[in-house]
Amino acid sequence: MIIQKSIFLLVGMLALGSCSSNDNDDNTNVGPTGPPVENETPNTSYQPAFSGQTRAGSIQTTTEIESKVITNGLSAPWGIAYLPDGRLLITEKGGNMKIVTQAGVVGNAITGVPAVNPAEQGGLLGICLDPAFETNRMIYWTFSEVVAGGNITAVAKGRLSDNYAAIENATVIYRSNTPHQSAKHYGSRILFDKTGNLLVSIGERSDIDARPLAQSVTSSLGKIVRITTNGQAASGNPSFTQSGALAELYSIGHRNPQGLAIHPTTGELWQGEHGPRGGDEINRITPGANYGWPTITYGIEYGGAKIGEGITQQTGMEQPVYYWDPVVSPSGMTFYAGNRVKEWQNNLFIGALSGMHIVRLAIKDNKVAGEERLLASEGQRFRDIIQGKDEALYAVTDQGRLYKIDKK
């Protein structure tokens, strides 16, 4: 096992109180904050819609935290799931699933996984376990697939064999209905909601001609969809009034959503997505809502031109809870629901790719009350982060590392 230790013995305080499943974290107490962690010049002169929407005050963890590299022997890991025995089930972008032990032993590639298209931003992507995994051994994952007309984001399921070596009866249960030649912006995270249905994030595929489809309710591009474990539209989905609206739609107007997480006390869905040059977002998802891309954004084109009309607000479109300019490139994310680090309770942790750190956001009244950057000295592109049942955080990086982050 390869071990690297980073001790965060930091000053400042963040104390979080408990709250019921029906409130909005009104009892959260955030201690002193310092200057924003971001001090680089923004790409635009756009102004936030409300105080704290960007560049929140800095906070620092006071608990002594240890991080260690369990292994650096993975190949572009993308998604993580925590198995009941404490091992980690990990997807690799190139198309493999592997199991890693707490001692850092990386298993052989699991057989039976359908082929993926690993070009550019595609590959084997998000993964989650069935809530009843210990009895049914079912897992679910997303991937990029080549079909007639181009590439799509697809969702598959299968049974993990008793010896953990194979996926049995792998089945594609859902495919985006809009193939496109682009190999960018697939999304794509997957998780279960509290009703036992699947939430899946799908990107708008990046190209100028595909962008407007994020606003079209007849396309699954640029959406969060909510489906059953058989891939059908889940009952209770919001209704979109426009003609031909897909029954599986849950929210619309997203760019490249690579983060999904359920708040541990409110049960609400939160989402993160990549902006263009500026305008990375964290959103609290309301079923049936429109999150604006590409009509409104806090970013600009990579070449510097404005996007569309160059506006950041429009009636009928939701504002992000938080945005970054310059970008940090938010990927996988999770809320901390443990007790080992009490000051982290209900905080949102996000893997930052171009930012090369783990973002910690303290949330109060559905707004960001403070921001911290963890593991910034590691020089890693953090692709996904989850909390294990042992209450430690586990994160993977594009460079092949798996980290464990826990109270010392």
The reply to whether 11 falls in a domain is yes
In this predicted structure, what is the pLDDT of residue 20?
30
Query: Is it the case that residue 341 has pLDDT exceeding 50?
Result: yes
| Count, residues in the chain | 408
Range of lowest pLDDT (28-37, 166-175, 238-247, 271-280): 28-37
**CB within 8 A of 145, min separation 6: which ones?**
114, 116, 117, 151, 152, 153, 154, 172, 175
In this predicted structure, what is the pLDDT of residue 138?
98
Residue bearing tokens 């590691």: 378
Q: Which two tokens mark 259?
A: 């983060």
Query: Could you give the number of structural domains in the chain?
Result: 1
Which parts of 254-397 fold into alpha helices (H)? none
What's the CATH code of the domain at 244? 2.120.10.30
Range of lowest pLDDT (27-31, 372-376, 403-407): 27-31
Range of the domain at 283: 6-407
Q: Which two tokens mark 387?
A: 């909390």
In this predicted structure, what is the pLDDT of residue 245?
97
Cβ-count burial of 235 within 10 angstroms (0-12 exposed, 13-18 middle, 19+ buried)? exposed
- Which residue from 390, 381, 406, 387 is spatially nearest to 349, judged by alpha carbons? 387
Query: Is it the case that residue 26 has pLDDT exceeding 50?
Result: no
**CB within 8 A of 85, min separation 6: which ones?**
none
Q: Which residue type, as a one-letter code, is found at position 87?
A: R
The reply to whether 1 falls in a domain is no
Cβ-count burial of 313 within 10 angstroms (0-12 exposed, 13-18 middle, 19+ buried)? middle
For the annotated catalytic residues, the residue numbers are: 185
Cβ-count burial of 132 within 10 angstroms (0-12 exposed, 13-18 middle, 19+ buried)? exposed
d(CA 263, CA 323): 19
Instruction: Report pLDDT digits (tens) over 396-405.
Output: 999 999 999 9
Which parts of 80-158 fold into alpha helices (H)? 133-136
Q: Which two tokens mark 137?
A: 């051994």
Across the range 29-46, mean pLDDT stands at 90
Query: Is it the case that residue 72 has pLDDT exceeding 90?
Result: yes
> Which of the 8 DSSP states describes residue 214?
G
In this predicted structure, what is the pLDDT of residue 29?
62
| Average predicted confidence (pLDDT) for the chain | 93
The reply to whether 242 falls in a domain is yes
d(CA 146, CA 182): 11
Instruction: Report pLDDT digits (tens) over 350-365.
Output: 999 999 999 999 999 9
Task: Centre a 10 Å sphere on the Cβ of residue 40 and count the other Cβ atoms it contains.
Answer: 7
In this predicted structure, what is the pLDDT of residue 28?
60
The reply to whether 350 falls in a domain is yes
Instruction: Give CA angle at 131 (386, 392), nearest 5°.
Output: 25
Q: Which two tokens mark 153?
A: 């984001």
Instruction: Give CA angle at 366 (362, 368), nearest 5°.
Output: 35
d(CA 398, CA 72): 10
